[in-house]
Amino acid sequence: MSKVNKTAEQWRKELDAETYRVTREAGTEAPFSGRYHDSKEQGVYHCICCGEALFLSDTKFDSGCGWPSFFQPLTDDVIEERVDTSHFMVRTEVLCQNCGAHLGHVFSDGPAPTGLRYCINSVSLDLKKDSD
């Protein structure tokens, strides 16, 4: 896919208010509220904004944090990382490299083989199920 570059107004027209708040304004959905936090369905998770394939369901695990968690992205080049110093913390923000959508954060307390936990907002994702 080519890089997606839209104005805030274009995104507002395409996305519902909650999806816009999370993906375009770096918001966070409430824990345990998202449709994928406890999903066990098989498939590929895509960016809700641009459709970029981001995570395989095989890399999803139950971290107990209330958000979908993955131990690695589909490939290294689908995720962009940047330092986030909001809320009096230093964290690593995770964005879709294709459209810049805020997805969540990555932490170094995940399982083997990577030791990483990509903590992702459900509203940022669209699961394309294997059965579809």
Per-residue pLDDT, averaged over 82-102, amounts to 90
- The answer on whether 99 is annotated among ligand-binding residues is yes
Let me know if 49 is a catalytic residue: no
Residue ranges per domain, the chain?
8-129
Is 61's pLDDT higher than 70?
A: yes
Ramachandran sector of residue 63 (left: φ over 0; alpha: ψ -120 to 50; beta: rest): alpha
What does the alpha-carbon distance between residue 33 and residue 66 come to, in Å, rounded to a whole number?
Answer: 8
Residue listed under structure tokens 């997805």: 103
Token digits of residue 6? 């839209």
- The answer on whether 49 is annotated among ligand-binding residues is no
Is 1's pLDDT higher than 70?
A: no
Is 45's pLDDT higher than 80?
A: yes
Token digits of residue 58? 């095989």
pLDDT attached to residue 132: 64
- The answer on whether 65 is annotated among ligand-binding residues is no
17-36 pLDDT tens trace:
999 999 999 999 999 999 99
Q: Which CATH superfamily is domain 8-129 in?
A: Peptide methionine sulfoxide reductase. (2.170.150.20)
Per-residue pLDDT, averaged over 68-82, amounts to 96
Active-site choice (119, 120, 125, 127): 119
